[in-house]
Amino acid sequence: MTSKPVETDVLVVGSGPAGATAAALLGMYGVKHILVTKYGWLADTPRAHITNQRAMEVLRDLGLEDKAVAQAVPQHLMANNVFCESLAGEEFGRLYSWGNHPSRKADYDLASPTRICDLPQNLLEPILIEAAGQRGTSLCFNTEFVDLVQDADGVTATVKDRLSGETYRALTVAPEWSIDKLGTHNAIQRALAARDAWQGRLYPTTNLRIQSSGAEVGT
């Protein structure tokens, strides 16, 4: 365990859309920060993908809207939720969705200069992390949040290098903030809950990844 902690104004835990966006914004405003993630790289599956207008406005503020739109499915191609027997089977019905119903389209158009799009997380994260790095984010991959303690001087987080196994006692956030992406397996929330500093509920999520030749989609 190292004895001398690393000091920073903000510690961001997690490199998902929330954490990466926070890092990019902190960098844009010149706030000293470090981002740690226990993974060796970014998301390799689509995961979250619907990107609403408020999120697109943030990307516009970061100068990333054009990059995002270039890789996204545009709103007009997200027009329907389809209910069917199978991928190639009988269709039971479909509903307009994501602001595409004629009676609702104008509301969305008037609400923002941006548009909803479908941008999978594995395409969005590299855009955000590149922007964060260019704005001064200190990126630490394979670095896992372990615990934190708070006193009058600030917050001291303990993190572990997953490659070497070495534990750092660690990134002192003094006297500012820690930001944790709000995922299901939320390490900071668990640490706070153990100290009765946070009360809430975590909901499980399930992602299914299906590989198919397409021959059986009609069955």
Among 37-51, 60-74, 79-93, whose mean pLDDT is lowest?
79-93
User: Are both 114 and 142 inside the same structural domain?
Assistant: no
Return the pLDDT at 58: 97
Q: Which two tokens stand for residue 65?
A: 């809207």
Pairing between β-strand 80-84 and β-strand 138-140 as defined by DSSP bridges:
unpaired
* Tally of structural domains, the chain: 2
What CATH number is attached to the domain comprising 137?
3.50.50.60
Tens digits of per-residue pLDDT, 90-123?
899 999 999 999 999 999 999 999 999 999 999 9
User: Are both 218 and 136 inside the same structural domain?
Assistant: yes
Tens digits of per-residue pLDDT, 127-137?
999 999 999 99
- For residue 175, being part of any structural domain is answered with yes
User: Are both 90 and 183 inside the same structural domain?
Assistant: no
Strand positions, DSSP E, 103-187 = 117-118, 138-140, 143-151, 154-161, 167-180
User: Are both 146 and 111 inside the same structural domain?
Assistant: no
DSSP 8-state assignment for residue 78 = G
Provide the residue range defining the domain that includes 98: 70-119
- For residue 59, being part of any structural domain is answered with no
User: Are both 101 and 180 inside the same structural domain?
Assistant: no
User: Are both 110 and 130 inside the same structural domain?
Assistant: no
Return the pLDDT at 17: 94
- For residue 56, being part of any structural domain is answered with no
Sign of the Cα pseudo-torsion (198, 200, 59, 16, in order): positive
User: Are both 20 and 127 inside the same structural domain?
Assistant: yes
User: Are both 189 and 200 inside the same structural domain?
Assistant: yes
Q: What does the mean pLDDT of the chain come to?
A: 84
Q: Where is mean pLDDT largest: 48-52, 151-155, 198-202?
A: 48-52
User: Are both 90 and 128 inside the same structural domain?
Assistant: no
User: Are both 134 and 44 inside the same structural domain?
Assistant: yes
pLDDT value at 184 more than 50: no
- For residue 25, being part of any structural domain is answered with yes
Contact (Cβ atoms closer than 8 angstroms) between residue 36 and residue 159: yes
- For residue 148, being part of any structural domain is answered with yes
Return the pLDDT at 85: 84
- For residue 62, being part of any structural domain is answered with no
User: Are both 75 and 114 inside the same structural domain?
Assistant: yes
Tens digits of per-residue pLDDT, 164-175?
988 876 556 555
- For residue 54, being part of any structural domain is answered with no
Among 179, 121, 131, smallest CA distance to 24 is for 131
User: Are both 115 and 15 inside the same structural domain?
Assistant: no
Domain's final residue, options 81, 97, 119? 119
Q: What is the Cα–Cα distance from 62 to 55, expressed in whole angstroms? A: 11
- For residue 60, being part of any structural domain is answered with no
